[in-house]
Amino acid sequence: MAGVPGADLKKRVAIVGFMGAGKSTAARELGGIDADDLVESAAGRPIAEIFREQGEAAFRALEEQTVVLALGGGAVTSPAVRAALGDTLTIWLDVDVDTCWERVRGSDRPLAQDEAAFRRLYEERRALYADVADVVATDIHDVVLAVAGVHVERGALQRLGELVPGDGPVALVSDPNVAGIHGMDAQLALGSRLAETHELPAGEEAKALTAVDRLWQELRLDRSGTIVALGGGCTTDAAGFAAATYLRGIAWTPVPTSLVAQVDAAIGGKTGIDLPQGKNLVGAFHWPARTVIDPALLETLPEPQRLEGMAEVVKTGLLAGEPLWELPDDELVRRCAAFKAAICLRDPEERGGERAILNLGHTFAHALEAAAGYEGLTHGRAVALGLLAALRLSGRDTRVVEEVLRPQPVRVDRERAWEAMKRDKKARGGVPRFVLLSDDGPVSGVEVPEEDARRELDRLIA
């Protein structure tokens, strides 16, 4: 994927590409619509019939009147459509001609009846796609990441200066450990844009109000500035919240350095800090200007921290119904990031309900973390245990969690954990609600009998 722009959730998006490239599928993945669907609806008849009775010119005239997410393969042949794409994020889904032909051969598509003509048309249109494209994507996952403003590239840290959108000053925020490993590379990459550097405590202490308060007071950026959050999920959560609230909101760019942050925490615009009563009880939705993910940074990650991130990878794979945990690092990160980004784009502020499925296992996990006082129990270990409980309540096989994550029961106070669970953000009237897996996929907001919930919580506690 090339040339990922900064994220703008209000910007109109168009996906272009040849017949069979997968534009309609990508559009639906983003919660969008397809030009062909609108044309057929407006005309009241199938596209094949429009072509047969009125010709391609009539179809293109109808297509010009639509403002949609996925444009027909030949839409860019219209000067009016090309002009309309000027203020639109235009993504070229560039798929090889053999794949396109295999997908459409034998269909009723008017321009896919002769293979030789199909291949000639493919070559003719490539220059038009290249001319209008802001981004070139090779598959649906690239499309999703482009719309979300997520840039995944090995070596991206060295290009940080050009990848952070805008031209205003930058405040680099990190923790002492990450700053010691990657801080100098980040500072060199930011170059003259770097105006100030700040440190948050390592781990969950970064999400204490006192830590964020100190950051607020130290910041000297004006509203043209950008906070760059270099670190794990706690750093991106806290620095993102500081960005959401400082001067009533300034731009920010997370640069996640841990596996858990690269596949989950730094994606989707959720920011937050903790209270003694629970995790992430104060926060804001503040979508990053861009998220810069460099899988090469995982090479310095100690194995225990990698296992932390694998809990979120397993969660994502369970939700997607695919063994994403078996992929090599670069593809594992890209696929997990794209899965979460697609859900967050469809439900950016968790109002439609779909985004809630990302909490699979987290109702139990957050309760255990709160009962431990956020000490001695890492988030990844808690999520691994939470996934066990969620799978058991779902009546599902738990072997993947046991074999990949190897969770062990934790020593915390049972009553404190139960009280924390009843206070969870997703609870209603003190009744916990869970994300469970059904035969039709994940389901959120599920209430289960109290005795079942308490039984599974108790099984996680030594």
CATH number at residue 414: 1.20.1090.10
Q: Does one domain contain both 158 and 62? A: no
On whether residue 306 sits in a domain, the answer given is no
Give me the mean pLDDT over the 231-239 stretch. Answer: 96
Q: Which of 99, 142, 203 is nearest to 3 (CA)?
A: 142
The pLDDT value recorded for residue 288 is 96
Asked which of 301, 327, 357 is the last residue of a domain, the reply is 301
pLDDT category at 1 given cuts 50, 70, 90 is very low
Check whether 35 has a pLDDT greater than 60.
Answer: no
Phi and psi torsions of 327, nearest 5°: -80, 155
Q: Which of 8-12, 64-68, 286-290 has the lowest mean pLDDT?
A: 64-68
Whether residue 142 is found in the same domain as residue 181: no
Residue 405 has pLDDT above 50, yes or no: yes
- State the CATH number of the domain containing residue 49: 3.40.50.300
Domain presence at residue 6: no
Q: Are residues 252 and 353 in the same domain?
A: no
CB 39 within 8 A of CB 50: yes
The structural domain count of the chain equals 3
Encode pLDDT of 92-104 as tens digits: 999 999 999 999 9
Examine the domain organization and report whether 84 and 27 are in the same domain: yes
Task: Give the gyration radius of the chain's Cα atoms.
Answer: 24
Residue 450 confidence (pLDDT):
92
pLDDT band (50, 70, 90) for residue 76: confident
Residue 17 falls inside a structural domain: yes
pLDDT at 41: 45
**Span 156-187, pLDDT tens digits:** 999 999 999 999 999 999 999 999 999 999 99
The pLDDT of residue 138 is above 80: yes
State yes or no: pLDDT of 224 exceeds 70: yes
59 domain-assigned:
yes
Q: Are residues 118 and 221 in the same domain?
A: no
Distance, in Å, from the CA atom of 307 to the CA atom of 395, rounded to the nearest integer, reads 25
- Residue 95 is assigned to a structural domain of this protein: yes
Higher pLDDT, 352 or 320: 320
Confidence of residue 47 (pLDDT cuts 50, 70, 90): low
pLDDT in tens, 96-128: 999 999 999 988 888 889 999 999 999 999 999
User: Minimal CA–CA distance to 310: which of 364, 375, 384?
Assistant: 384
Question: Residue 34 pLDDT more than 70?
Answer: no
* Res 279 pLDDT > 80: no
Kindly state whether residue 382 falls inside one of the protein's structural domains. yes
**85, 114, 148 - which closes a domain:** 148
Q: In terms of residue numbers, what domain contains 224?
A: 150-301
d(CA 371, CA 417): 5
Which strands make up the sheet holding 13-16, listed edge to edge? Answer: 13-16, 89-93, 135-137
Residue 84 pLDDT greater than 80, yes or no: no
Lowest mean pLDDT of 59-73, 113-127, 426-440, name the range.
Answer: 59-73
Separation between Cα atoms, residue 347 and residue 272, nearest integer Å? 18
Note whether 184 and 131 are same-domain residues. no
Question: Based on the domain organization, do 109 and 173 belong to the same domain?
Answer: no
323: in domain = yes
Domain termination residue (choose one: 121, 148, 175): 148
Mean pLDDT of all residues in the chain? 89
Structure tokens of 397?
């096989």
Here the CATH number for the domain that contains residue 295 is 3.40.50.1970
Contacts of 304-308 spanning 24+ positions with Cβ under 8 A: 305/232, 305/258, 305/259, 305/380, 306/259, 307/380, 307/405, 307/406, 308/258, 308/259, 308/260, 308/378, 308/379, 308/380, 308/381
Whether the pLDDT of residue 42 is over 80: the answer is no
Residue 399 confidence (pLDDT): 96
Residue 424's pLDDT band, with cuts at 50, 70 and 90, is confident
Listed in sequence order, the DSSP H helices in 250-302 are 259-260
Note the pLDDT of residue 46: 63
Q: Are residues 289 and 327 in the same domain?
A: no
One domain for residues 378 and 455? yes
- Residue 132 shares a structural domain with residue 181: no
| 67, pLDDT greater than 70 | no
- Clarify whether residues 73 and 201 are in a common domain: no
pLDDT in tens, 406-416: 999 999 999 99
Count other Cβ atoms within 10 Å, centred on residue 450: 12
In a domain, 49, yes or no: yes
Per-residue pLDDT tens over the stretch 306-348 = 999 999 999 999 999 999 999 999 999 999 999 999 999 888 8
Same domain (yes/no): 187, 76: no
pLDDT greater than 70 at residue 2: no
